[in-house]
Amino acid sequence: MAETLHSDQQPPHGEAGERVERLWARSMTASIVVLIGVIVFTSAHWGLHPPSRLETIDSTTLHQGGEFSEANLGTFIAPDGSAVVRLVAQQYAFVPSCVLVPAGVPVTMRLASADVVHGFLIQGTNVNAMVVPGYVTTVSTTFQEAGDRLMPCHEFCGVGHQAMWAHVRIVDAKQFPFEDAKAKAVSCAG
């Protein structure tokens, strides 16, 4: 290509150039500091849980047995009285599609993906995480108020992504079937 650079397109030389570079470096440093500050503030203020527990699982054999086999999906009451919810995320649904949990009881949610990366959040709570194939995502929370909440997938996972969500039904502890849930997984899926 021929010489097309005009003199007014040349970068500034000498002192002017250094001034521009210093200004650029300062504004970049400032934006990095602001972004880190936003991450620290939102993590502390909203109690976000990065999916940091490294538990691995073979995503291709979830249905063949083990923790995430069909009979184990739903809510169990552990010996210590807390609730453990197991879900599988797959294109394009969560199993079970309706999660039943008692209010005011510590809940540990354990999710595994059967195929690609999914995400989930529960509206109005601090629950928000990704579900990466090959790993178990664990989130702990306590739902304070009874009511129905939506749990959409928030990672684009394919053409059916926007239709991928579950209900979370939080019921008063008096209405939760604690005895049943000690023996088998319970849910509100039809």
Q: What track of x and - describes contact with ligand CUA for positions 80 through 119 (by CB under 6 A)?
A: --------------------------------------x-
Interior angle at CA 163, CA 162 and CA 168, nearest 5? 110
149 lines the binding site for ligand CUA (CB under 6 A): no
By the rule CB under 6 A, 166 interacts with ligand CUA: no
Buried b (16+ CB within 10 A) or exposed e, 90-99: bbbbbbbbbb
Q: Which of 103, 122, 157, 188 binds ligand CUA (CB under 6 A)?
A: 157
Interatomic CA distance for residues 101 and 99, integer angstroms: 6
CB of 151 to ligand CUA, least distance (A): 11
Smallest gap, in angstroms, from Cβ of residue 129 to ligand CUA?
13
Q: Residue 86 contacts by C-beta under 8 Å, 6 or more apart in sequence?
A: 67, 68, 72, 73, 74, 76, 110, 111, 185
Give least dist CB 42 to ligand CUA, A. 22
> How many residues are present in the chain?
190
Q: Which residues bind ligand CUA (CB under 6 A)?
A: 118, 153, 155-157, 161, 164
